[in-house]
Amino acid sequence: MSNGPTEAVNNLIKRIKRVGFDVRNFQNYLIRALLYAGKPNWRVLGSIVVQ
């Protein structure tokens, strides 16, 4: 039994938080997080309206 998968998810969350430091609103942060995590759902991204 290994904690490798859990550590990978924790690392991904930390990287997404680091990338989002300069984002001014939550919608832009959400878009950046989805793109950074990989395999984005393009229908979800298309439905987000950036102001």
Distance CA 14, CA 1 (A): 24
Distance CA 35, CA 25 (A): 16
Q: 27 and 49 in contact (C-beta within 8 Å)?
A: yes
Distance CA 47, CA 26 (A): 14
CA atoms within 13 A on the CB side of 31: 13
pLDDT at 50: 60
- What average pLDDT does range 20-44 have in this prediction? 78
Per-residue pLDDT tens over the stretch 5-30: 899 888 988 888 887 777 788 887 87
